[in-house]
Amino acid sequence: MTRPKVRILMHKPSYYKVFYSINLWMDLNNLVDTNKATERWKKLKEKIEKCGAKVEVMELDEDTKDLPDIVFTANAGIVRGKQVYLANSDINSFHQHKYLN
């Protein structure tokens, strides 16, 4: 029996920005370089595909451009078989995450 191919969900960083700071890596004085972010995103996508995973890309539209965490699709949920386990984090608990180095 063949093992099903792993699928990874990604968003293009088309509207990626830092709106607020909740950890050491988010600096409001350090503007996001959209071109650099896009190039790094492409390289990451290529590496994931070289490892054998299928990358599903969600396109952002104008209505979602001001949602600061929309590019972090890994936080959306986990798919196992035909079931999806959605993340359940409201805005208050999201800001209470501890970031470890």
Q: pLDDT tens for residues 1-21?
A: 566 578 888 888 877 777 777
Q: Is residue 49 part of a domain?
A: yes
Residue at 99 is within a domain: no
Of 77, 98, 95, nearest to 87 by C-alpha is 77
Domain containing 78 equals 7-94
For residue 69, being part of any structural domain is answered with: yes
Tell me the pTM.
0.65
Residue type, 14: S
Tell me how many domains the chain contains.
1
pLDDT of residue 44: 92
Q: What is the pLDDT of residue 68?
A: 65
Round to whole Å and give the CA distance between 85 and 49. 24
The reply to whether 100 falls in a domain is no
| 51 within some domain | yes
On whether residue 101 sits in a domain, the answer given is no
Q: Which two tokens stand for residue 43?
A: 């390289």
Please check whether residue 66 lies inside any domain of the structure: yes
- Answer whether residue 1 is part of any domain: no
> Which tens digits make up the pLDDT trace of 48-70?
999 998 888 887 777 777 776 66
